[in-house]
Structure 1
Amino acid sequence: MSDLIAAFNKYFEIIPANTADLKNQFFHLRYQVYSQELQLPGFESWRYPDGREIDKYDKRSVCCLLRHQPKGFIVGGIRLVFCDPDDPFQPFPIEEHVGHHFDTQLIEPAQLPRRTTVEVTRLVISRQFRNRGREIHYAHGLDDSSFGNKSDKRRQFPHPVLGLLVALVQMSSEYGITHWYAGMEPALNRLLRRFGFNLKPIGPLVDYYGIRRPYLDTVDNVLTRVFQKKRDIWDLVTDRGRIWPVSKEWTAKQLSTNS
Structure 2
Amino acid sequence: MSDLIAAFNKYFEVVPANTTELKNQFFHLRYQVYSQELQLPGFESWHYPDGREIDKYDKRSVYSLLRHRQSKSIVGGLRLVLCDPDDPFQPFPIEEHVGHYFDTRLVDSTQLPRRTTAEISRLVVARDFRCRGKEVLYAHGMDYSSFDDKSDNRRQFPHPVLGLLVALVQMSSQYGITHWYAIMEPVLNRLLRRFSFDLKPIGPAVDYYGIRQPYLNTIDNVLTRVFQKNQDIWDLVTDHGRIWPAPRQWAVKQLSTNS
Instruction: Name the TM-score, length of structure 2 as normaliser.
Output: 0.95
SS in 2 for 1:89: coil
| One-letter amino acid of the counterpart of residue 219, structure 2 | V
- Structure 1 residue 251, shift from structure 2 partner: 5.0
SS of equivalent to 1:57: helix
- Pairing 1:124–2:141 present: no
The structural deviation recorded for 1:155 is: 1.1
1:53 aligns with 2:53: yes
Q: How do 1:112-151 and structure 2 match up within 5 A?
A: 112-149=112-149
- Matching of residues 151-162 of structure 1 within 5 Å: 152=152, 154-162=154-162
Rounded to whole Å, the distance in 2 between the matches of 1:77 and 1:18 is 13
SS at match of 2:4: helix
* 1:26 aligned residue: 26
Answering whether residue 11 of structure 2 is matched by residue 11 of structure 1, we say: yes
Deviation at 1:192, TM superposition (A): 0.1
Superposed CA offset, 1:146-202 (max 9, x none) = 012167554110000000000000000111100000001110000000001000000
Question: Is 1:99 aligned to residue 99 of structure 2?
Answer: yes
Q: Secondary structure at the match of 1:132?
A: coil
Q: Which runs of 5+ in 2 are unaligned?
A: none
Q: Secondary structure at the match of 2:139?
A: coil
Give runs of ≥4 in structure 1 deviating > 3 Å.
150-154, 249-256
CA contact (8 A) 1:61 1:82 kept: yes
TM-aligned CA deviation for residue 122 of structure 1? 0.4
Residues 100 and 254 of structure 1: CA distance in aligned 2, closer, same or farther (over 3 Å): farther
Aligned residues: CA RMSD? 1.6
1:209 aligned onto 2:209: yes
Residue 188 (structure 1) aligns with: 188
The letter for the 2-side match of 1:75 is: V
Comparing 144-153 with 226-235, which one deviates more in the overlay?
144-153
**Residue pair 2:130, 2:141 contacting (<8 A) in 1 also:** yes
* Unaligned stretches of 5+ residues in structure 1: none
Amino acid at match of 2:180: W
The whole-number CA distance in structure 1 between the counterparts of 2:109 and 2:250 is 25
Displacement of 1:103: 0.4
In the other structure, the counterpart of 1:198 is: 198
The question of 1:74 aligning with 2:66 is answered no
Conservation of the 8 A alpha-carbon contact between 1:203 and 1:214: yes
**Identity score, percent:** 79
Q: SS of the counterpart of 2:209?
A: coil
